Amino acid sequence: MRIVVFGANGPTGRQVTEQAIAEGHTVTAVTRRPAEFPLSGPCLRVAGADVLDPGAVERAVAGQDAVISTLGVPYSRSPVTVYSEGITHITRAMTRHGVRRLVCVTSTVLFDAPAPGETLFFRKVLEPLIARTIGRTVYDDMRRMEETVRDSDRAWTVLRPAGLFDTDAVSDYRVATSRLPGRFTSRADLGNALLREAVGDRHVGAFVDVRTTEGVPGFLDVIRKEAFGGRK
C-alpha cells in the first residue's frame, strides 16, 4: 500500500513510518526538515514540504492510497492554526487526486466526557486546567480540524489518544469509539493504531480512543516530560 505520512519527523510520525516500512508498505514521509529524518530504506521516500503549502501538500498526496496525519505543535497562548489549515490542504488534495482513506490524530480531551473511573481531582481540576487554559489554543484548533475532516467526503478516522509517552514496542492496547479508562497512550501503540486504520476500514467515519493498558508510567513523570513539548 502507498501511504503518505504528514508530521513524519515527530515521535509518532516516526513510529508510523517505521512500522509501515517494516510491513512492506511504500511510505512517503513528509517533513519540513528532510535532512534530519532518521529513517531510510528502499520503500521510503522523504519529501521536504510544509503542510501549510497547498502545492507541496498536493504533490505529496498525488498517487497515494492513504494519508496519515500526525501533526503536532506545542501548547501556546497564541492562536494555533496548523491543524485546521493543514488538514484543509490535505483533504482538498485528496479530493483532487481521488485518495480515499484519511487517518489523523487529535486528543481524548475532545470526547468532552470524563474518563471512566477517573479521580475527582483529575476530572474537575487537572484536565480542565490543561484543556481550557494551558492547551486551549491547541485544542480549539484540533476541534476545527475535526470539523473539516467530518465535513469532507473522504473515508476518515480520527484517533484521540490520551497522554503520550515513549516505549520500545507495541503492546496489547485498546481502541473504542467512546472514551476509555486510563490516562496514557504509548506512541508505539498510537502509531500501530494509525497504521491499522489506514490499511483497513474498521472505524470509517468515527472518532476512536486509543489507550495503553500495560507498562504505563506515573502521571507526574509524563507531565514533566511531555506536557509542554508538543511532541506528537
Structural domain includes residue 126: yes
Structural domain includes residue 120: yes
Contact in structure between 25 and 44 (CB atoms under 8 Å):
no
Structural domain includes residue 113: yes
Domain tally for the chain? 1
Structural domain includes residue 231: no
Structural domain includes residue 232: no
Question: Full-prediction pTM beyond 0.85?
Answer: yes
Structural domain includes residue 130: yes
Structural domain includes residue 210: yes
**Domain with 212 in it: what CATH number?**
3.40.50.720
Per-residue pLDDT of the chain (232 residues; tens, 9 = 90+): 999 999 999 999 999 999 999 999 999 999 999 999 999 999 999 999 999 999 999 999 999 999 999 999 988 889 999 999 999 999 999 999 999 999 999 999 999 888 888 887 777 787 777 888 888 999 999 999 999 999 999 999 999 999 999 998 999 999 999 999 998 999 999 999 999 999 999 999 999 999 999 988 776 666 655 454 545 6
Structural domain includes residue 79: yes
Q: Give the structural domain span for 148.
A: 2-226
Contact in structure between 3 and 66 (CB atoms under 8 Å):
yes
